[in-house]
Amino acid sequence: MKKIPLSVCILMSVLGAGCMFYSLKPYTPLEFDKIYVAPIKNDSFAPQTCVTLTKQVRTKLANISGLELASSPENAATLKITIIEFGRLMATTQEDDTSQTKSFNIRMAILCTLSNNVTGRVYFEDYRISDFIECHSNDNFQALQSQAMPKLASRLADKVCDIICHL
C-alpha cells in the first residue's frame, strides 16, 4: 500500500474546503419576484428597435429563476428603458477606395430605471448601458444592419439582466 505525501493531503483538503462554499447561483435573491417591462421609449434614430429590444429583455428576464414577468406594474418592480443613442460608424474602408466602407460599427446606448412599486425603492435610475456590434460587408449595408440589430439588442438585454441580477 502506497503512502500519500502530506503535501497532497493538505492540497486536497484545501481544495475540498473551497468547493464547499461554491454555488451555481451567481447572484443573491432579488427583493421582488415579479417584474413589469414598460414599453421601451425611443429617443434616437434607431429604426424599429423597440420591439426587438423589448422581446430580448423580456425573454432574458423570463429565464431568471424566481422571477416572473408581470403584465401590469401593480405589485411588481418596473423596468423602464429609453434608447438614447443609435449610430452607424465606418470602421474600415475598401483598399482601393477609402471613401467606400468595408465594415462599420452599429452602436446603441440606453438608459434604464428599475423601481419597486411595492416598496417604492428605486434600485437604479437612468443607468447608462451601451454596446456595439461590428458588421463586415462589401454591399447592402441596410440588410446587414437589419440582421445585426437582434444581436445588438440581445447583448444589451444581457447587460440589463446582469445588472438586475447583481443588485
| 3 pLDDT above the threshold of 70 | no
* CA pseudo-torsion sign 8, 13, 14, 15: positive
pLDDT for res 77: 96
pLDDT for res 105: 83
CA-based nearest residue to 116, from 67, 70, 77, 64: 77
| 10 pLDDT above the threshold of 80 | no
Mean per-residue pLDDT for 101-126? 90
| 6 pLDDT above the threshold of 60 | yes
What is the architecture, at CATH level 2, of domain 31-165?
2-Layer Sandwich (3.30)
- Find out whether 36 and 70 touch, Cβ atoms under 8 Å: yes
| 111 pLDDT above the threshold of 50 | yes
**Residue 72 DSSP one-character state:** S
